Amino acid sequence: MGNFNISTTASKENNMTGKSIKMAGIIIAGTGITFGVWAVAALIGGLNQVDWQVTELARQYLVATGLISPIHTLVDFYTQIKGVEYIICVAFFVAFPLFYRYVNKERKAVKVSRRL
């Protein structure tokens, strides 16, 4: 009889754990759906304010977060272009030796047999 009580208690604990996991899943899913609806509403509201132009909304977001800044003078423009040019040069200086090594890699001879 003692074993029966222990297994019944363990079964109740497993059942409560299953219910707790299911409830946590429901709460997490509900929170995710709520944030998703909020994000879609914010996107639609933002698009409405910029006359449904996706690129203008993206530009305003990038300006607001400081990722891009408006260019007012020729010096600002030249500085921006030179910065991008230097980034491209560094990427090329890293990529070219790797590509050269790949292209000039010594190939192994492959033996091909003919079937008649």
10-residue block means of pLDDT along the chain (116 residues)?
Answer: 51 71 94 97 94 93 85 87 95 95 87 79
53 with 84, same domain: the answer is no
| Backbone torsion region of residue 79, taken as left when φ is above 0, otherwise alpha when ψ lies between -120 and 50, otherwise beta | alpha
- Provide the pLDDT for residue 10: 53
Read off the pTM.
0.47
- Provide the pLDDT for residue 49: 93
Residue 85 inside a domain? The answer is yes
80 with 60, same domain: the answer is no
The residues, any chain, with a CB within 8 Å of residue 50's CB and separated by 6 or more, are 56, 57, 60
Residue 30 inside a domain? The answer is yes
- Provide the pLDDT for residue 57: 93
Residue 114 inside a domain? The answer is no
> What type of residue sits at position 35?
F
- Provide the pLDDT for residue 106: 86
Q: How far apart are the first and last CA of the chain?
A: 79
Residue 113 inside a domain? The answer is no
Owning domain of residue 91: 71-107
65 with 89, same domain: the answer is no
Q: Is there a contact between 62 and 68 (Cβ–Cβ < 8 Å)?
A: yes
39 with 57, same domain: the answer is yes
Q: How far apart are CA 21 and CA 93, in angstroms?
A: 53
For the chain, what is the domain count?
A: 2
Residue 29 inside a domain? The answer is yes
- Provide the pLDDT for residue 88: 97
- Kindly report the backbone phi and psi dihedral angles of residue 7, in degrees, each rounded to the nearest multiple of 5, phi listed first: -65, -35
Structure tokens at 57: 């909304």
79 with 59, same domain: the answer is no
Residue 116 inside a domain? The answer is no
8 with 56, same domain: the answer is yes
- Provide the pLDDT for residue 46: 93
